Amino acid sequence: MTERATAYRRDGLHGQLVHDLGRQIVTGELPVGAPLPTEEQLGKVYGSGRSAVREATKVLVAKGLVVSKRKVGTIVQPETAWSLLDPDVLAWRYENDPTALHLDHLAEMRVVLEPEAARLAARTKDRTVVRAIQESYHRMEETLDDPDAFIVHDLAFHRAVVEAGGNDLLVHLHSVMEVALAAARQVHTRNVRRNKRTLPAHRAVLDAIVAKDADQASALMREVVTGAAHDIRRDRRTR
């Protein structure tokens, strides 16, 4: 089993600082163009020394959230400069009141990724990765009445498909999207009826992959993820 994209560890003083400042920036509490407090001030506020503050801001610089200049200070960068695909940035965005637009973008990304991933999976010659997909599917069947478990296996199914494609970049991108998905808890609605409806669609994808019918696998996967996107939108309206 491949690992998930990993977030910056929250332990240690500077880890805390990174998350605190990062969240404030991404949520707009610290507005674009504004300077952070000086290193000395931050040190005082957080009861830490300058070194910890500096190590934290260096990480934020690496994520494109700020730039530092002598005498000017460290300035919050415009959103276009942010590393949106960084697991932390994504988590900060999606765990703090993501807008409807942001959720749509997330769903769109799945529509971008997964059909093509299914196509690649159908072309693979490695039978073991296909078996991983099958196993996840069977677990979905078995846990049809246990929504929480179902979600886990549903995610595993999609991940297995992407991994079967054998493309590093794609696998990584997918794992990053999972982080965002997990942060935006609302996306996973526990709904047995809906699960019963989507199960056959997953089955169809699996069969197409096993049959090595790439076009079909892609088209069917497209159905699955666009269906999920519509569900998200519907949930939003009816709430």
Partner DNA sequence: TGTAGACCTTTCGTCAGACAAAAGCATCAA
Partner DNA sequence: TTGATGCTTTTGTCTGACGAAAGGTCTACA
Tell me which residues touch a second copy (CB under 8 A). Answer: 2-3, 5-6, 8-9, 14, 18, 51, 54-55, 58-59, 61-64, 79-87, 102, 105-106, 108-109, 111-113, 116-117, 120, 167-170, 172-173, 176
**Smallest separation, CB 24 to DNA (Å):** 15
Q: How many chain residues touch DNA (CB under 7 A)?
A: 25
In whole angstroms, how large is the CA radius of gyration of the chain? 21
Checking DSSP bridges between strand 73-76 and strand 66-69, what pairing results, if any? antiparallel
Stretch 64-93 residues interacting with DNA (CB under 7 A): 68-74
Counting other chains too, the contacts that 192-197 makes at CB distance below 8 Å and 24 or more residues apart are 192/144, 192/145, 192/147, 194/231, 195/140, 195/144, 195/147, 195/150, 195/154, 196/144
Smallest Cα–Cα separation from 158: which of 227, 215, 97?
A: 227
**Smallest separation, CB 53 to a second copy (Å):** 11
145 sits near DNA (criterion: CB under 7 A): no
**Smallest separation, CB 21 to DNA (Å):** 12
200 φ/ψ angles, rounded to the nearest 5 degrees:
-60, -35
> Are 121 and 165 a contacting pair, CB within 8 Å?
yes
24 sits near DNA (criterion: CB under 7 A): no
| Residue 40 binding target from a second copy, DNA, none, CB below 5 to 8 Å by type | DNA
Alpha-carbon gap, residue 122 to 149, rounded angstroms: 26
The continuous run of DSSP H or E covering 76 comes out as strand 73-76
149 sits near DNA (criterion: CB under 7 A): no
| Residue 49 binding target from DNA, a second copy, none, CB below 5 to 8 Å by type | DNA
Residues that bind DNA (CB under 7 A): 12-14, 35-36, 38-40, 43, 47-52, 54-55, 57, 68-74
